[in-house]
Amino acid sequence: MPRADNRKNTSAHSLPRWHRSNGLPCMTQQIITWDLGATKCAAGLVEYDKITETLTCKTSHSIKLSDATSLEDLITQLETKLGLTMHDADAICIGGAGYYDGKSLLLDGAYPYPMLFAEIAHKQQWPSYAVIHDYAPIVCATFTSYMEQPHNIKRLNTCQISKHGRRVAFGIGTSLGLKDGVLLPSGDFWLGQNEMGHIGITMPPLASQQQLQRHQEIMRFLANNPHEPSHHALTFEKILSGKGMVRLYQFFHPNEQAITPEQVGMKMRNSQADETLDAFAWYVGLFIGTVQLIFMPKGGIWVTGGVALHHTEAFDRPELMDGIYASPAYLAQRETYPLGVLCNLEHALIGGAYYATKRLLSK
């Protein structure tokens, strides 16, 4: 079945809007962008200035999916908060978890109600719109001036971004999502197809004896966990997502089976679970090193997601670099690749708007 990169466009009925800024005429267009996850949806109203090619998020709002009774109800709530209907926007870009089959957005584990975007877009006469992979907008954000604003990024090294180099964005949250892309010299862009978050946990080619022993013991613990289905897969998502952090915590505290991801997170932030934080940081590093070898991303690796942003202290732990160095091949080259955490929560909204300017708006 096709991934969520399939586009579905209705007629682009909206005409460019003209307004005056500082006494000079300026053509702008309004783009509504969604960042739709398994449990909540953030949406933003982004203004695009066609003359300066700048994107400005004018307003944004987040709604828990459980607070809406249907997709139509969710849309109505978002429109009320944004002050603009989907029909009246110039374009709509929906970054959604799961895969889009041209009619509905489907997700393992299921959304609380059907995400029948094609049907509703036709019914409400939406402008040009796209339903794309949820991390495609984050990659697209790295093509913009968003990356030039220091408060948006926690840099983990000082390497320069190769403008036309391949770059990777991945997010650690309810799940583990990843997308790669390239900004082309023509100004257009290319996005890859992959599901890296679901690959098996790699055996580190090089690690200290203590770290290797801990890794092997954690793998045995996860494989024999009576609280998991007998056929469950040992993937990076299993230990890096919100529930994955609970699994890591329970390895060190096997008697605490009722603990929630939120409680584990609080313990980590309060320095009450440093061994869990170190193991988490090491596996994030192991994943980064694996991703570097697969993509060789001169444009950098950019990390985000709810779990990552709630635990930015993990990126300061020495174990993070130990995990990266556990895959030593081409290390000298890989050390020239940028690495950082995207901290400002608007990156998905800005990136979705950038996608719309290149794929949905009339030139």
Question: Residue 329 carries which side chain, given as an amino acid letter?
Answer: A
pLDDT in tens, 55-95: 999 999 999 999 999 999 999 999 999 999 999 999 999 99
- pLDDT at 225 (0 to 100): 76
pLDDT in tens, 197-247: 788 998 999 999 999 999 999 999 988 876 666 567 889 998 998 788 999
Q: How far apart (Å, rounded) are the C-alpha atoms in residues 81 and 312? A: 30
Is-contact 131 5, C-beta < 8 A? no
- pLDDT at 233 (0 to 100): 81
The yes-or-no verdict on residue 13 having pLDDT over 70 is: no
- pLDDT at 165 (0 to 100): 97
pLDDT in tens, 175-200: 888 999 999 999 899 999 887 878 89
Q: How far apart (Å, rounded) are the C-alpha atoms in residues 314 and 280? A: 7
Mean of per-residue pLDDT scores for the chain: 90
Q: How far apart (Å, rounded) are the C-alpha atoms in residues 264 and 266? A: 5
Percent of the chain, pLDDT > 70?
91
Give the model's confidence band at 150: pLDDT under 50 very low, under 70 low, under 90 confident, else very high.
confident
- pLDDT at 363 (0 to 100): 62
Instruction: Please report the beta strands in 71-209, taking only residues with DSSP state E, as ranges in sequence order.
Output: 91-96, 99-100, 105-106, 128-133, 153-155, 167-172, 176-183, 189-191
Give the model's confidence band at 1: pLDDT under 50 very low, under 70 low, under 90 confident, else very high.
very low
pLDDT in tens, 253-278: 998 888 999 999 999 999 999 999 99
In order of their start, the domains of the chain are: 1-143+344-363 (3.30.420.40), 196-342 (3.40.367.20)
The yes-or-no verdict on residue 166 having pLDDT over 70 is: yes
Cβ count within 10 A of residue 176: 24
Lowest mean pLDDT among 218-227, 293-302, 317-326: 218-227
Q: How far apart (Å, rounded) are the C-alpha atoms in residues 230 and 362? A: 52
Beta bridge mates, 136: none
The yes-or-no verdict on residue 37 having pLDDT over 70 is: yes
- pLDDT at 5 (0 to 100): 43
Is-contact 236 197, C-beta < 8 A? yes
245 vs 19 pLDDT, higher one: 245
Is-contact 291 170, C-beta < 8 A? yes
The yes-or-no verdict on residue 16 having pLDDT over 70 is: no
Is-contact 41 63, C-beta < 8 A? yes
User: What is the edge-to-edge ordering of all strands in the sheet holding 153-155?
Assistant: 153-155, 339-342, 300-304, 167-172, 176-183, 189-191
Which token pair is 5? 């990169």
* Residue (of 296, 285, 295, 90) closest to 207 by Cα position: 285
* Mean pLDDT (whole number) for 269-295: 96
